[in-house]
């Protein structure tokens, strides 16, 4: 019996030594395999993968990236459709060259499937090919504490939905030291809730340097000509800060009126009379197919 116990003890000690050498420690409960300690040391969380990263496309996008000629940047809107990856790269390149020392990038985007809670977030860090992006756990906690939002943690949703997962590598490339807080919104989020999000973000920005980014694709499922008409309607509403009009817009105009309303209201709270239009393109510009019948369009917006 003593020999058997001795062997078991030795085996357990061997496992503990291996875990310690690898930087791990045993915690109560079952931990997922893909875990790591949080930056704050509060506990162990899963690391999320950037599932949509493609190295060749990413290199092409960053090589073509331009800057939008602004000295400050506090908020903006970018696509998440990676066909327009050079627009994403251009926005974050602009942010990186302003000289602003951002602490956090807060990402808002659509919950494309519309499943789960109306407001979903994650406390996980992100794994990218360029290194790890830490989560701003304090920002996530503030979202979770906001009673009017009833936000819920849903790690798998945040990883699998390209609305924010597609952007993280660009953030790491151009703003390598920042943390990220990512939030997905369903179409059920009300205009008042979008405003509550903006006010919450404004409160956060008083205590840290934030870059607030809405991840939004615009016209969907239309011909190039039809998309132009929709985009003009959307552009006018954006420049007029007509949030009620934007909130009523269907998917043919944009995939997340809730995100856009939150970003525009946040910009207003920061004193911007209207968003600045940095760029506007469509899938036709990237595919060189003027008769495309399912033409997604893209606006890049910014605000000092």
CA distance 232 to 253: 10
CA distance 267 to 2: 71
When the pLDDT of each residue in the chain is averaged and rounded to a whole number, the result is 88
Phi, psi of 273 (to 5 degrees): -70, -35
Mean of the pLDDT values across residues 184-195? 98
Q: What percent of the chain has pLDDT over 70?
A: 84
H or E element that contains 45:
strand 44-49
Report all structural domains of the chain as residue ranges with CATH numbers, in order of start.
45-303 (3.40.830.10)
DSSP-assigned states of every residue in 167-217: THHHHHHHSTT-EEEEEEE-TT--HHHHHHHHHHHHHHHTTS-EEEEEE--
Q: How confident is the model over 118-163, as pLDDT tens digits? A: 999 999 999 999 999 999 999 999 999 999 999 999 999 999 999 9
Contact by Cβ (8 Å): 91, 76: yes
pTM: 0.85
Mean of the pLDDT values across residues 236-264? 98
**For residue 15, what pLDDT is reported?**
34
Phi, psi of 77 (to 5 degrees): -130, 135
Which segments within 66-118 are labelled E, that is strand? 75-78, 104-110
């Amino acid at each position: 019996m003593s020999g058997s116990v001795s062997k078991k003890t030795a085996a357990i000690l061997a496992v503990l030594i291996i875990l310690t050498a690898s930087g791990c420690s045993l915690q109560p409960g079952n931990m997922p395999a893909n875990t790591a300690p949080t930056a704050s040391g509060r506990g162990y969380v899963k690391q999320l993968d950037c599932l949509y990263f493609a190295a060749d496309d990413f290199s092409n996008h960053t090589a073509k990236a331009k800057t939008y000629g602004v000295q400050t940047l506090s908020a903006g809107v970018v696509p998440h459709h990676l066909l327009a990856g050079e627009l994403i790269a251009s926005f974050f390149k602009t942010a990186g060259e302003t000289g602003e020392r951002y602490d956090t990038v807060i990402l808002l985007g659509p919950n494309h499937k519309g499943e789960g809670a109306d407001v979903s977030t994650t406390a996980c860090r992100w794994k990218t090919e360029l290194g790890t992006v830490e989560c701003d756990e304090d920002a996530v906690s503030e979202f979770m504490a906001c009673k009017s939002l009833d936000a819920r943690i849903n790690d798998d949703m945040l990883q699998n939905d390209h609305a924010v997962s597609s952007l993280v590598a660009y953030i790491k490339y151009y703003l390598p030291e920042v943390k990220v807080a990512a939030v997905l919104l369903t179409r059920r989020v009300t205009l008042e809730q979008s405003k509550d999000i903006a006010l919450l973000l404004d409160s956060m920005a008083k205590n840290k340097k934030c870059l607030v980014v809405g991840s939004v694709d615009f016209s969907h499922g239309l011909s190039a000509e039809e998309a132009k008409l929709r985009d003009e309607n959307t552009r006018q509403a954006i420049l007029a800060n007509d949030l009620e009009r934007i909130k009523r817009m269907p998917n043919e105009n944009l995939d997340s009126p809730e995100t856009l309303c939150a970003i525009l209201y946040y910009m207003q709270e920061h004193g911007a009379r209207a968003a600045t239009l940095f760029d506007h393109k469509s899938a036709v510009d990237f595919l060189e197919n003027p008769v495309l019948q399912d033409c997604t369009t893209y606006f890049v917006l910014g605000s000092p």
